[in-house]
Amino acid sequence: MSDSATTAIGLLLFPALTQLDLTGPFEVFARAPHTQVHLIWKTLESVTSDRGMKLQPTTTFATCPALDVICVPGGPGQIDLMADEEVLTFLRRQSEQVRYVTSVCTGSLVLGAAGLLTGYQATTHWASLDQLALLGAQPVAERVVRDRNRITGAGVTSGIDFALNVVAELYGSEVAQDLQLQMEYDPAPPFATGSPRTATPAQLEKVRTQIAPFIEKRRMATVNAAAKLHTLP
């Protein structure tokens, strides 16, 4: 645990992540009182997101200070992380000392690959939600899911909702509400198509078809990670 005077939140940074999975929560956490946010990767070299944005780590696995919260964002690069023992070992070690183990989008699949969601309710991007069950988690189709000290957010844009929930857990709902007002977080999307629950059947089928090859690639990585879980001591 970090110094009681400061809350330390670590966000995992990795190649080909979806930057909004990380930068949405970062914006919330960085505004929270007495909080220090760390961007963590294997080295201090810049990391490129899946859409080309370069992001700079602030600490490494080796130099990461004691954390209160560890968060794993998602994105295409998550597939490689599920078989990266250096990353999985780091997450397992952090899970033993932090207050909250958290994720946004398909970052929850990485937590699952590390064995950290076995027996927990969790969520992820709607297109990969069923894959959580392969990793021993109970999939829940909600924007933010908390089960004991695991807090997971659904797809990309849920990161802000997720982070406000985490801030409410750490500092109380009044602080989280103040931050929401500061950020003018008052979503009014132009279309009611942001969820499988509101999209038309035709739209949902079209998008499922478009992303099907990648989702199958992710599923194979999840299947392989699930097989490795059974060999853990």
**pLDDT tens readout for residues 159-204:** 999 999 999 999 999 999 999 999 999 999 999 999 999 999 999 9
pTM, two decimals, is: 0.96
Q: What is the pLDDT of residue 230?
A: 79
Q: How far is Cα 175 from Cα 164, in angstroms, rounded to an integer? A: 9
In a domain, 140, yes or no: yes
Residue 75, domain extent: 7-229
* Percent of the chain surpassing pLDDT 70: 97
Tokens for 32? 């929270």
Number of domains into which the chain is organized: 1
CA distance 26 to 17: 14
* Residues acting as catalytic residues: 105
The answer to whether 102 and 22 have CB atoms below 8 angstroms apart is no
pLDDT at 1 over 60: no
Cβ(87)–Cβ(93) below 8 Å: no
Instruction: Tell me if 109 is assigned to some domain.
Output: yes
Task: Check which CATH number belongs to the domain holding 97 and give it.
Answer: 3.40.50.880
Instruction: Indicate whether 1 belongs to any domain.
Output: no
pLDDT tens digits, 209-226: 999 999 999 999 999 999
Tell me, yes or no, whether 2 lies in a domain.
no
Query: Is 52 a domain residue?
Result: yes
